[in-house]
């Protein structure tokens, strides 16, 4: 990938595009992104392409906590957003005809923007995980919109040797295929596509008895086949992100690209929460009542455990302590609260010696004097899972269904909502389940609130209890997904920046190095 800005390069740009944009360069609209781009682009294109893709990924992030992935509502909202803003993502690959210049230009943009965001989101494990999950969601959505002939072409281009079974085999094994496939009648078998896959590649489907086995092969229906391809895609992209991160020191020397890339990875992928707006607003004498009225389930269970056992282990103290700080408990009150509770178990002197330093540290008064922010839902769900003696974590993620059901009853969640919450948990829609819990406990028929942070949950609850109109926003001001409006900055390019030229492309060299590793 080279960056052109000189007059000579701009004059030759149209000629170069004619060479770059052809069916050989982009034979299919859906990509595994195996090869990095090797072409000239301006810095303005670099930033604009990446900015547009970031908006799509953030919309997917917002949508994933308000609708079940791949459900009808999810697909309809995503389709509406893409059609209105980025229709290129809805282009399926039509086989048997010449691809238009507009489609080839879109494929080029898709290719380049993906690799740019690899650079932006490879810098930490958290950024890599977020980017990987959102890109996988986008890939799955696009894969499901491809035709059977297009999928066959995609498999062939990417050396994925999975062949569909013949029509005769579908007829011969119709009864077995119907029995082994979820929600598939014998009549539907005739018009459905099944792939012949070595059974060792789909052991998860074999163990759950969701495929028909014959002579060492599994006959996988197309809707299950996506899991195989997406697994391959995840493995490939995960490895590529790690390889890119190892090559980053070369890029850090370029003071023109680095600010652009950092502007993308500093967007709110973790639903950041600013605790300053609540400084000194909550008294510790009110915590018991607030825990019953406005705490999310994750914080209520830690509060109850602390009251009952007078002890929390490290991650429990971190999760709950930072939450208290963000709702407005002062440092002095926080020390008093923890001393009162834990002092009952270990004594005041031992508490002051072993634990008070960490509390002051969380408030930025010790050590590096960093003002730590509270944990987001994604951090609680994905990091530091609780063990048997712990009380932190996400109860929707880390608690068994039976124990969760019992806990919901104990906390007086309406009985008619409990089954729905449990079903969402079993489908691993933990944040949506939390949103249903919020709606049920606040006597709302349907909540538009997207739960992405425990402290946003608390704030929304307090607004409702005070008779104020809730924002319905789980990201501290971001609009709901059907009125999406990004909160990050617009592209920061300027004319003087666009015209700067890189004769020796460090990015191109870096891309080639990690792709060949």
Phi-psi region of 384 (alpha: psi -120 to 50; beta: other; left: phi over 0): left
Name beta bridge partners: 195: 164, 220
Q: Which residues define the annotated binding site for [4Fe-4S] cluster?
A: 298, 377, 394, 434
Cβ atoms of residues 432 and 65 within 8 Å = yes
The DSSP letter of residue 286 is: G
Q: Which residues define the annotated binding site?
A: 298, 377, 394, 434
CA distances from 63 to 113, 165, 272, 369, 390 (A): 21, 36, 17, 36, 31
- Report the SS3 class of residue 408: helix
Long-range contacts of 103-108 (CB under 8 A, 24+ apart): 103/29, 104/21, 104/22, 104/23, 104/25, 104/26, 105/17, 105/21, 106/29, 107/26, 107/29, 107/31, 108/20, 108/21, 108/25, 108/26, 108/37, 108/39
- CA dihedral sign of residues 490, 496, 501, 505: negative
Neighbours of 107 (CB within 10 A): 23
Neighbours of 130 (CB within 10 A): 21
């Amino acid at each position: 990938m080279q960056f052109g800005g000189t007059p000579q390069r701009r004059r030759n740009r149209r000629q170069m595009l004619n060479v770059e944009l052809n069916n050989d360069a982009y034979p299919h609209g859906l990509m595994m992104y195996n090869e990095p781009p090797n072409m000239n682009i301006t810095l303005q294109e670099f930033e604009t392409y990446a900015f547009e893709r970031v908006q799509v990924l953030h919309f997917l992030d917002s949508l994933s906590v308000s609708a079940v992935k791949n459900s009808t509502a999810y697909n309809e909202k995503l389709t509406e957003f893409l059609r209105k803003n980025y229709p290129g993502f809805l282009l399926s690959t039509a086989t048997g005809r010449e691809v238009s210049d507009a489609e080839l230009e879109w494929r080029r943009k898709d290719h380049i923007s993906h690799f740019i965001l690899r650079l932006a989101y490879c810098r930490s494990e958290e950024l890599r995980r977020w980017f990987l999950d959102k890109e996988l969601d986008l890939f799955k959505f696009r894969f499901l919109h491809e035709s059977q002939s297009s999928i066959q072409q995609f498999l062939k281009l990417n050396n994925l040797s999975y062949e569909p079974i013949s029509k005769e085999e579908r007829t011969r094994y119709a009864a077995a295929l119907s029995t082994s496939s979820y929600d598939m009648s014998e009549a539907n078998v005739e018009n459905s596509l099944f792939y012949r896959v070595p059974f060792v590649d789909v052991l998860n489907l074999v163990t759950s008895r969701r495929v028909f086995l014959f002579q060492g092969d599994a006959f996988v229906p197309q809707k299950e086949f996506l899991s195989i391809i997406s697994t391959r895609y995840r493995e490939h992209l995960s490895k590529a992100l790690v390889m890119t991160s190892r090559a980053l020191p070369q890029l850090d020397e370029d003071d023109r690209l680095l600010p652009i890339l950092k502007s993308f990875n500093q967007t709110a992928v973790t639903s950041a929460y600013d605790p300053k707006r609540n400084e000194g607003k909550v008294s510790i004498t009110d915590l018991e009542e607030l825990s019953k009225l406005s705490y999310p389930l994750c914080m209520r269970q830690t509060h109850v455990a602390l009251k009952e056992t007078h002890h929390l282990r490290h991650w429990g103290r971190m999760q709950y302590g930072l939450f208290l700080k963000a709702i407005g408990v002062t440092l002095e009150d926080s020390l008093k609260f923890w001393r009162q509770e834990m002092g009952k178990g270990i004594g005041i002197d031992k508490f002051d010696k072993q634990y008070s330093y960490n509390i002051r540290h969380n408030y930025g008064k010790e050590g590096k004097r960093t003002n730590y922010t509270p944990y987001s839902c994604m951090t609680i769900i994905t990091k530091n899972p609780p063990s048997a003696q712990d009380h932190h974590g996400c109860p929707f993620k880390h608690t068994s269904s039976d124990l969760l059901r019992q806990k919901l009853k104990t906390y007086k969640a309406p009985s008619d909502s409990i089954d729905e919450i449990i079903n969402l948990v079993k489908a691993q829609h933990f944040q949506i389940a939390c949103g249903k819990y919020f709606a049920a406990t606040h006597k709302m028929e349907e909540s538009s609130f997207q739960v992405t942070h425990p402290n946003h949950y608390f704030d929304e609850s307090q607004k409702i209890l005070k008779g104020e109109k809730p924002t319905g926003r789980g990201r501290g001001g971001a609009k709901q997904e059907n009125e999406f409006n990004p909160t990050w900055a617009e592209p920061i390019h300027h004319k003087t920046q666009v015209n700067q030229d890189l004769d020796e492309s460090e990015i191109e060299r870096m891309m080639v190095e990690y792709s060949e590793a």
